[in-house]
Structure 1
Amino acid sequence: MKKIIPILLCLFFLTDGVAYAHVLRVGARWQFQIIQAALNASLKGDTILVGPGIYKEKNIVVNKSLVLIGDHYPILDGEHQFEIISVKADNVTIKGFKLIHSAISSLVDIAGIKVYTRKGVTIANNILEGTFFGIYLEKSAGCLIENNKVTAYAKTDQQSGNGIHCWQCDSIRIIGNAITGHRDGIYFEFVTNSVIWRNKSINNSRYGLHFMFSHNDAYISNIFQSNNAGVSVMFSHTVKMFNNYFEDNWGDGCYGIFLKEITDSYILGNKFLRNTMGISMEGSNRVVVENNEFSKNGWALKVDASCLDDTIRRNNFLGNSFDISTNGTLVVNCFDHNYWDKYEGYDLNKDKIGDIPYHPVSMFSMIVAQNPTAMILFRSVMATLFDKIEKILPGITPEIVDRYPYMKALKI
């Protein structure tokens, strides 16, 4: 009998756990017509299934660990007055909703879905349109934001927040989302050990991606296209930037990536296509730029004199107006084994490496860097003359030299 009692107690607690995990339905034909009423009646571990329709419930607060699922994308309307969903419990899942018309505020960061200091939250397969901030994580960890479509229509930065915003977070996964029309598509500030993978951040009014004080993160296989300023990674270390596309970021002060005060980071396997600047680097140290393609940019790479111990190798430079530009005379960085389509050297020993070094900084690019209006002379006889002088007297330009230039473009 003594041996049977512990077994019976275990069975009781297991049965008790299953008994309280059930489905609550919301909709015209079900027991609940209001989502918040179902939330209030639910218990930890329950699933709330919301049927099709338009729900105007002001601010919906989720304060229990449960699953909230929309059937055929029910519409949650914030009526331009409210934050739509506020998550205030751990281990919450929100899937399958269309959220529209959150409030706009210059004092409070109002979002379509906002997570307040929580862990293990999943936000997936939702559509957000016309929200101030789209999805906002505050002091949260171990969360997943996946396959959401986040769109804003504001005409000024003051009327639009960021599409996916993370502040003081850790171990966040942002996967497969599409963000457009926001101020910054994705924003990280004080975020660590997190990954941004396979997202599309297009036509945002400022940055496609904005990093601030965020370390040990990676963004991989994303598309950043036609954003007003491109991508900015600032005051961070150990950032991995792999296999992304940076496309069509044109305009004054636009770039594929702007790096400022970055250390011990990697830019590998990316494509920089048709940007004003492919990469602009300021105060960036021990950064490896390898196996990237720079094609049809204004400037492929701008390296400020404050950059030290950076390595630029095995990249393709194709059809750029200027390949390399700098504002200093002494450059303490390594350039080697790149392919430069402007290289006019030869390979007598047939080892696929040019026999004479290549100086990628042209004299005319230095003039334009100091006097932008000189760009009017681009492709003129005068510009050609400057470049010929530089080849005869290479000491005129900064000592940036690729001593082992490839004769053919690399496969990247």
Structure 2
Amino acid sequence: MGLTTMTATPFLSIFRTTHLKYLLSGFCLSMIPLMSAAQTAELPESENRLEALIQQADSGSTIRIGPGTYNVRELLIEKAVTIDGQNSAVLDIGGEGYGLILKGENITLKNFEIKNSGSGFMDDFAAILIEESNNILIQNLTLTNNFFGVFIAKSENVEVTGNTIISNADRQTTSGNGIHMWYSKDVEVHQNEITGHRDGIYLEFVEGGTMTGNRVYSNIRYGLHFMYSDHCSYIDNEFRDNVSGVAVMYTRNVVMQRNLFVQNWGANRYGLLLKEINDSVVENNRFESNSVGIYSEASNRVQIEQNNFTENGTAIRMMANGVDNRIVRNNFFGNVFEVSTNSRSNPNHYEGNYWSQYEGYDLDRDGIGDVEYRPVRLFSLFAERQPLSLIMLRSLMAGLLDTAERIFPVLTPKNLTDPKPSMEPVQ
């Protein structure tokens, strides 16, 4: 039953025909069951009393907001309610402080816009702050021109799905992260569009986070950035044209599957940066037009399998301080350098990859090259130590050096070979 408003005209009509004492007693008795049993409350157009309506609502109620712009600032929601903007309401924070602060259980926000949070690094101002909460759903919102979009702290079972999160900031000091997760568990981030923030998605001390189907592009630092967040997965996401790509650091048991890493081009830009990652999977991803497809440092037991590396500067830059990584059944198409490293030792395993630069043969027609392949070019070692030498990349001398090194390897890692290179792209 919805909350209703009695207008002046019906009230006077009843007053003229009914004794006053019966009118008042009847009116009061009728309002008691109406308020206690309310399941849906309507906030009409242009009435700025959302806070009062939330305070009056019973646990489990739905509050539907009519069209219009409503001023909100640090509106605290502690009870189990659903707030539905019906795809027409706008909550304006006014450039100061937080928007909505959630501290409770079973709260749903959906179908409205929140804009213009405060900004600054002394406080992590956000359109939505979720703190010490459980079973929260943030769905189909548009978050515009906020410092942080959604800030999740010390919470469990939070789902952020189908939202558009946009910032107009032009540098890191004027923007927080699109979706920020800290010290939380079982957070799901699905089907969001995130652009213009410092990091699109950020995780720190998160366990069991799942990110699928997000489109994260043109962010000021990383599209995805997470640290100390074990047992997380990101699947079927698109990370495009973020200044530094994607960074996964100091973490174990991460699953990275079927993502697109594209157009992260420039100095110190990577499709995917792995730093001190252990016991993880990088599988069935596409790395296209990045300065470096995967940069791996001090990472161990990572399975890099069935990925496509296409027209990157360097497909894989594997530092020798990581061990027991397996690079198997990947496709390398038209990369300048297929693999580069910083040592003559190779503690990792390469096998069954397709290399577009492979010039070997397959006499027994079993689909496997009869000659092992050395993917590290001599010139890549020079470029590793002297980046300015890249201006000689297309020179005749660079080609002669690489040819001589393939025939009589002296400087490149002797055991960094693919003993069974695939003659055809791996399906």
Range into which the TM-score falls when normalised by the shorter chain? over 0.9
Verify: 1:154 aligned to 2:174, yes or no.
no
In the alignment, is the contact (CA less than 8 A) between 1:27 and 1:34 conserved in 2?
no
Query: Bigger CA drift: 58-67 or 201-210?
Result: 58-67
Q: Say which SS state the counterpart of residue 73 (structure 1) adopts.
A: strand
Q: 10, 16, 26: which one pairs with 2:43?
A: 26
Match of 2:422 in 1: 406
In the alignment, is the contact (CA less than 8 A) between 1:85 and 1:112 conserved in 2?
yes
Structure 2, gaps ≥5 residues long: 1-32
2-structure distance, mates of 1:83, 1:209: 23
In the alignment, is the contact (CA less than 8 A) between 2:45 and 2:67 conserved in 1?
no
1-structure distance, mates of 2:45, 2:37: 24
Match of 2:216 in 1: 201
In the alignment, is the contact (CA less than 8 A) between 2:48 and 2:71 conserved in 1?
no
Q: 232, 248, 262: which one pairs with 1:217?
A: 232
In the alignment, is the contact (CA less than 8 A) between 1:112 and 1:134 conserved in 2?
yes
Q: Say which SS state the counterpart of residue 388 (structure 1) adopts.
A: helix
2-structure distance, mates of 1:192, 1:299: 32
1:86-145 per-residue CA deviation (whole Å, 9 max, x = no partner) reads: 111111000011111100021011100110110000000000010000011001111110
Show the 5 A alignment for 1:315-394: 315-394=330-409
Show the 5 A alignment for 1:35-54: 35-54=50-69
In the alignment, is the contact (CA less than 8 A) between 1:51 and 1:72 conserved in 2?
no
2-structure distance, mates of 1:214, 1:104: 26
In the alignment, is the contact (CA less than 8 A) between 1:21 and 1:47 conserved in 2?
no
Shift of residue 71, structure 1, vs aligned partner: 1.8
Corresponding letter in the other structure for 2:288 = L
Q: 226, 241, 246: which one pairs with 1:226?
A: 241
Shift of residue 19, structure 1, vs aligned partner: 6.0
Shift of residue 155, structure 1, vs aligned partner: 1.3
Q: Say which SS state the counterpart of residue 345 (structure 2) adopts.
A: coil
2-structure distance, mates of 1:370, 1:355: 33
1-structure distance, mates of 2:49, 2:400: 75
Q: Say which SS state the counterpart of residue 309 (structure 1) adopts.
A: coil
Verify: 1:131 aligned to 2:150, yes or no.
no
1-structure distance, mates of 2:422, 2:230: 34
Q: 74, 94, 118: which one pairs with 2:109?
A: 94
In the alignment, is the contact (CA less than 8 A) between 1:34 and 1:57 conserved in 2?
no
In the alignment, is the contact (CA less than 8 A) between 2:344 and 2:411 conserved in 1?
no
2-structure distance, mates of 1:167, 1:322: 37
In the alignment, is the contact (CA less than 8 A) between 1:90 and 1:119 conserved in 2?
yes
In the alignment, is the contact (CA less than 8 A) between 1:206 and 1:229 conserved in 2?
yes
Shift of residue 394, structure 1, vs aligned partner: 1.8
1:144-178 per-residue CA deviation (whole Å, 9 max, x = no partner) reads: 10000000001111110000000001011100000
1:261-305 per-residue CA deviation (whole Å, 9 max, x = no partner) reads: 000000000000000000000000000000000000000000001
Q: Say which SS state the counterpart of residue 269 (structure 2) adopts.
A: coil
2-structure distance, mates of 1:21, 1:122: 22
Q: 184, 194, 208: which one pairs with 2:199?
A: 184
Q: Say which SS state the counterpart of residue 207 (structure 1) adopts.
A: coil
Shift of residue 408, structure 1, vs aligned partner: 1.0
Identity percentage over the alignment? 38
Q: TM-score, normalised by structure 2?
A: 0.90
In the alignment, is the contact (CA less than 8 A) between 1:247 and 1:272 conserved in 2?
yes
1:304-327 per-residue CA deviation (whole Å, 9 max, x = no partner) reads: 010100000000000000000000
Q: Say which SS state the counterpart of residue 324 (structure 2) adopts.
A: strand
Match of 2:89 in 1: 74
Verify: 1:84 aligned to 2:99, yes or no.
yes
1:31-60 per-residue CA deviation (whole Å, 9 max, x = no partner) reads: x64111101111211111111101113222
Q: TM-score, normalised by structure 1?
A: 0.94
2-structure distance, mates of 1:241, 1:90: 30
- Change in Cα spacing, 1:394 to 1:88, as seen in structure 2 (3 Å) is same
In the alignment, is the contact (CA less than 8 A) between 1:231 and 1:257 conserved in 2?
yes
2-structure distance, mates of 1:72, 1:282: 46
- After TM superposition, the runs of 4+ consecutive aligned structure 1 residues lying more than 3 A away are 18-21
Q: Which has the larger radius of gyration?
A: 2
Alpha-carbon RMSD across the aligned residues, in angstroms, is 1.3
Corresponding letter in the other structure for 1:222 = N
Show the 5 A alignment for 1:273-352: 273-352=288-367
1-structure distance, mates of 2:178, 2:88: 19
Match of 2:21 in 1: none
Structure 1, gaps ≥5 residues long: 1-15
